[in-house]
Amino acid sequence: MSGDSKLPGERSFLDGLEKRHRRGRLWKIFFATSIIIALLALAALFLNVINETFGSIAIQYEIDPLELTGGRPLDEVTDEELVAIIHQQLGRRFLVILRDELSVVDPSEFTTRPVEDVFEGQAYPEGTGELLINELSDDDVQFILLNNVSRPKLEALLLSQVAKEDIVQSWPLDWALFRFEMSEETRQQIDDIQAQIAQLSSQIDDLDRHVEDYDQQKDLLEAQLDDLERALIELKNSSVQARHYVDFPDAELIRYHSWLDSVFLITPMSSFPEYAGIRTAILGTVYIIVLVLFISLPIGVGAAIYLEEYANDNWFNRVMETNIRNLAGVPSIIYGILGLAILVRVFAPITSGALFGFNVPQQTEARITYNIGRAIGYDVLPDVGYRALILGFEREQLSTLEVDNVLTALSENELARFTANMDAGQYAAFAAAFLNIALPEPDENILAVPVENQRLADADFRRLVEAFFSFRQPSLIDFGLPSQDRFEQAVNESVTVTQLTPEQYNALVNELRQYSRLTLNGRTILAAALTLALLILPIIIINTQEAIRAVPASYREASYGLGATQWQTIWRTILPTAIPGILTGTILAISRAIGETAPLIVVGASTFIAVDPDGLFAKFTALPIQIWQWSTRPQAEFRNIAAAAIIVLLVLMLLLNATAIILRNRFSKRH
Amino acid sequence: MAAVQKPLNPKSVVTGLAVELRNVSVFYSDYRAVANVSLPIRRNKITAFIGPSGCGKSTVLRSINRMNDLVSGARVEGEIIYNGHNLYAPHVDPVEVRRRIGMVFQKPNPFPKSIFDNVAYAPRLLGIRDRNTLMQIVERSLRQAALWDEVKSDLNKSGLALSGGQQQRLCIARAIAVEPDVILMDEPASALDPIATQRIEELMRELQEHYTIVIVTHNMQQAQRVSDYTAFFNIRKAVQNGVETRWGELVEYGETAQVFNAPRQEETADYIAGRFG
């Protein structure tokens, strides 16, 4: 540029000018590169999430649906026939479906309340309103399902409950798009290779009989076999169809499957990815966010008004303001630790709701007992009877599900471990006691088996429980579990506890009850919301301060000049003018809170919640928790639904940010 | 509040003076911005403050309704007498002072609210909620401010949607809605074009009938056109320990015709003739 300059100038100036322009161009390239890198990263993130959310799946049925329908496609089967098939296949477990899908009463009252209560507001055969569910004829129960459940739901029930569909493999979208088809050549090669594998395997078997003679030959063949197998693996990993062809030839292959659909949004947790949804996570997030808003908005705005309008410019207020600014940068996990130490533990009577009569002590006692069992590897749960007695329940209460809360504390893995070693009778008793938990593979008519007197617990376990009760230091159960060595010490010191008389034993249990009142579990929605509110409080304060500072000084002068008091000036002029800034700042802070995971994990979000949260003192999970939890599972399908949940979370955040923009535009237009 | 009810009733005192400044000095922390100003503000007259930039005329104006209280570190010495009482006496509430002595600023500063809400702002501060009463006040104020005919069809329009001159008249209407005794105007026309300026000047003449007006202006023709009395302020300098300090002082006060045509001080004559400032 400067070389062509016709303007007279000194040589040194022109050289310098060229250098200055060059430096500017370099910086411009650097800035452009930055934005390109940022955009690429964003695009990669989105592509990755979308890739996981949509894609191919292979579905295999335990029982072929065609077999169930007598060879007819599902479309041609009438609703009535569908219900009849489900009923016939499920037997008494059919009632469990009715209870889970349609009952409006507490699960424990399902069999003890008349039909008109149980199915209130829904269709049931005329004249059966007074009857109990167990007194209905087969046709009647079929009628109820038929008339209250939609066709797609019926088909889903057939496929999930009867045919037991299982997604044996899933592929991401790029596979569905680009690596779906298997060429005839590949198929030929696979067939060839499989045939050769079979042939070689049989030859190897033959040769095994003459090992000494054919060692060398066998090695050779084995090497060939390895090569072939390697080739097969390579081939079967070349496309969706090839993998399907090799590993799951009987599975139904769906090329484009969306993991994100309306059912996913309204279904609660499940340990099976194909049935899992994020209903409880969404509800948890909504509860928490609404609470956070109610807590942090008034406090944050109030604090900001104080700092901007009332506080003098002295050292104390300066230190306070600096600290608030620093707090906004504190890592969120530290707020989690704070929430755990103070909100969950110190304020447990408040955050658990015990002060207000929520979360009765039994739950905590049950949890302690359960924790003891877990700590020593003892399967507590099969011994329902004993455990119930420990908890002070009457035997009759067992079937009325008073203790079902205990099980929500179990992960599905633990559940599977407990049930794996049960015999049929134990399983049935267990299931009967905790019916509202979905159990993996009940193959008996579980409702039919009465709760019998279970064997009493091993003396060992009893001794350990009592040892625990006798060892009363709050630190022990702060985390719900005693540390290993302190617990062992306690056990050694109390071997004689087994010699206790019944009276002494009862006194011990009573002690525990008193004790557990003090150690109720504060890991509730309220504690989580308070923690997140603390987290975003500094952000809201800073944003509000900025918004207040942005109010033109002339408005303030005008208001004072008209004889307004300080409060009138704040309320009538400063706040109305600052409100768009306050709102956008708050919404952005809230959208940060929605995405926070670490503090919720520390505060104690549950990872498996199948029941909707019912208030401030409910246990909770939240969207980011669910995403985190699913993404750590080994099965690929969980990563698919994690990606689907990420999309939901992103949409939620985009909505919030859009709201912030709309609010800002609307308010600034009004002025 | 209770203590000022009695003394602040203007009708009970007939002195011909609305406000009187006695030996007023204004300080910002330790810095003395204006020194020893004494001058009368006559009732139902227009008094103009003129002088070069930095001479403290605005500072003196703002101290009359205690707007300087809003600046942290600002302090006033001397007395400002309003109806026989010192406005800076400890028991006087500045909110009460500003309700009696209104203010119009250099830049039109209507609130981002409707025209109606702008004018009704001060009455509402006093607790008037009745819509009809407010409507009467708004109409009277807008009529007095010569804005009624232009905005009566659309009182819900934002005050910021008006032209600069209309905005300034809206600010005047807003200031007179609670019928103050004195209106302080800090260069009210300096941000306006000549036509709008002329309307404001006409308006001041009309308002004079009901109100006492003090105006700060840079425009000497304006002062000559509208004011009855003129106070000329100038900058004083002194070097103390090698540091130069500046402050403002009142040089001359008199009837406008006398100040402009036969100034008693040479400084005044120089300033009016445009030889500095």
With CB atoms and an 8 Å threshold, state whether A563 touches B109. Answer: no
Q: How far is CA A269 from CA A29, A160, A411, A421, in A?
A: 49, 15, 11, 25
Confidence label for A358 from pLDDT (cuts 50, 70 and 90) = low
Q: What percent of chain A has pLDDT over 70?
A: 72
Q: How far is CA A234 from CA A4, A184, A185, A367, in A?
A: 63, 16, 14, 50
3-state secondary structure of A244: helix
Confidence label for A226 from pLDDT (cuts 50, 70 and 90) = very high
Check: CB of residue A258 under 8 Å from CB of residue A176: no
Confidence label for A384 from pLDDT (cuts 50, 70 and 90) = very low
**CA closest to A568 among chain B residues:** B125
| A-B contacts (CB, under 8 Å) | 70
**CA closest to B113 among chain A residues:** A671
Q: Which of A115-124, A434-443, A582-591 has the lowest mean pLDDT?
A: A434-443
pLDDT of residue A338: 86
pLDDT of residue A7: 65
Cα B124 to Cα B130: distance, rounded to the nearest angstrom: 9
Check: CB of residue A366 under 8 Å from CB of residue A406: yes
pLDDT of residue A342: 82
Place of tokens 């006093």: B126
Place of tokens 């928490």: A288
**CA closest to B111 among chain A residues:** A555
Cα A159 to Cα A61: distance, rounded to the nearest angstrom: 8
Classify A483 in phi/psi space as left (phi over 0), alpha (psi -120 to 50) or beta: beta
Q: What percent of chain B has pLDDT over 90?
A: 57
The backbone torsions φ and ψ at residue A177, rounded to the nearest 5 degrees and listed phi first, read -80, -45
3-state secondary structure of B49: strand
DSSP A247-271: H-TTSEEEEEEES-SHHHHH----S
Closest CA to A182 of A232, A245, A108: A245
Check: CB of residue B158 under 8 Å from CB of residue B173: no
With CB atoms and an 8 Å threshold, state whether B65 touches A561. Answer: yes
Q: Does A667 touch chain B (CB under 8 A)?
A: no
Check: CB of residue A594 under 8 Å from CB of residue A652: yes
CA distance B100 to chain A (A): 8
Per-residue pLDDT reduced to its tens digit, A395-425: 333 333 333 444 444 444 444 444 444 444 4
Cα B7 to Cα B13: distance, rounded to the nearest angstrom: 9
Amino acid sitting at position B253: Y
With CB atoms and an 8 Å threshold, state whether A564 touches B95. Answer: yes
Chain B residues in contact with A579 by the CB 8 A cut-off are none
Check: CB of residue B156 under 8 Å from CB of residue B116: yes
pLDDT of residue A539: 93
Q: State the pairing for strand pair A252-258/A54-61.
A: antiparallel
Check: CB of residue A625 under 8 Å from CB of residue A597: yes
Cα A566 to Cα A431: distance, rounded to the nearest angstrom: 67
* DSSP H helical ranges for A209-306: 211-236, 240-247, 262-266, 279-305
- Angle (CA) A588 A589 A595, round 5°: 95
Given a cut of 80, is residue A197 above it in pLDDT? yes
Compare CB distances from A563 to B70, B98, B109 and report the shortest one's residue. B98
- Domains for chain B: give ranges and CATH numbers: 2-272 (3.40.50.300)
pLDDT of residue A472: 36
What is the mean pLDDT of the segment spanning A56-78?
A: 82
pLDDT of residue A455: 29
Strands (E), A22-129: 54-61
CB < 8 Å from A in window 126-165 of B? 126, 158, 160
Q: Does B107 touch chain A (CB under 8 A)?
A: yes
The backbone torsions φ and ψ at residue A601, rounded to the nearest 5 degrees and listed phi first, read -65, -45
Q: Kindly calculate the radius of gyration of chain A based on its CA atoms and give it in whole angstroms.
A: 33
Given a cut of 50, is residue A449 above it in pLDDT? no
With CB atoms and an 8 Å threshold, state whether A558 touches B174. Answer: yes
pLDDT of residue B101: 93
**CA closest to A313 among chain B residues:** B72
CA distance A564 to chain B (A): 6
Which helix H or strand E contains A189, and what residues bound it? helix A184-208
Q: How far is CA A328 from CA A304, A334, B78, B149, B264, in A?
A: 14, 12, 48, 53, 64
**CA closest to A311 among chain B residues:** B72
Compare CB distances from A557 to B67, B122, B178 and report the shortest one's residue. B67
Neighbours of A217 (CB within 10 A): 13
3-state secondary structure of B212: strand
Q: What is the pTM of this model?
A: 0.65
Confidence label for A366 from pLDDT (cuts 50, 70 and 90) = very low
Q: Does A25 touch chain B (CB under 8 A)?
A: no
Distance, first Cα to last Cα, chain B: 43
Q: In the Cβ-directed half-sphere of B60, how many Cα atoms lie within 13 Å?
A: 38
Non-local CB neighbours of A460 within 8 Å, separated by 6+ positions: A378
**CA closest to A557 among chain B residues:** B67
Given a cut of 60, is residue A374 above it in pLDDT? no
Q: Specify burial of residue A565 (Cβ count, 10 A radius: 0-12, 13-18, 19+).
A: middle
Given a cut of 60, is residue A437 above it in pLDDT? no
Per-residue pLDDT reduced to its tens digit, A484-503: 344 344 444 443 333 444 55
| ipTM at complex level | 0.89
**CA closest to A565 among chain B residues:** B95
State chain A's mean pLDDT as an integer.
74
Q: Does A314 touch chain B (CB under 8 A)?
A: no
pLDDT of residue A387: 43
Closest CA to A590 of A542, A536, A545, A649: A536
Compare CB distances from A568 to B109, B125, B171 and report the shortest one's residue. B125
With CB atoms and an 8 Å threshold, state whether B111 touches A559. Answer: yes
Residue spans of chain B under pLDDT 70: 1-15, 277
DSSP A428-491: HHHHHHTTTSPPS---S-GGGS----PPPPPHHHHHHHHHHHH---GGGGTTSS--HHHHHHHH
Provide long-range contacts, Cβ within 8 A and 24+ apart, for A538-541: A538/A324, A538/A325, A538/A327, A538/A328, A539/A328, A539/A585, A539/A588, A539/A589, A539/A592, A540/A296, A540/A297, A540/A300, A540/A301, A540/A304, A540/A585, A540/A586, A540/A589, A541/A300, A541/A303, A541/A304, A541/A307, A541/A324
pLDDT of residue A4: 53
Compare CB distances from B98 to A313, A560, A671 and report the shortest one's residue. A560
Two tokens, residue A524:
């509730």
Amino acid sitting at position A666: R
Q: Does A571 touch chain B (CB under 8 A)?
A: no
With CB atoms and an 8 Å threshold, state whether A560 touches B102. Answer: no
pLDDT of residue B41: 93
Given a cut of 60, is residue A187 above it in pLDDT? yes
Cα A604 to Cα A348: distance, rounded to the nearest angstrom: 13
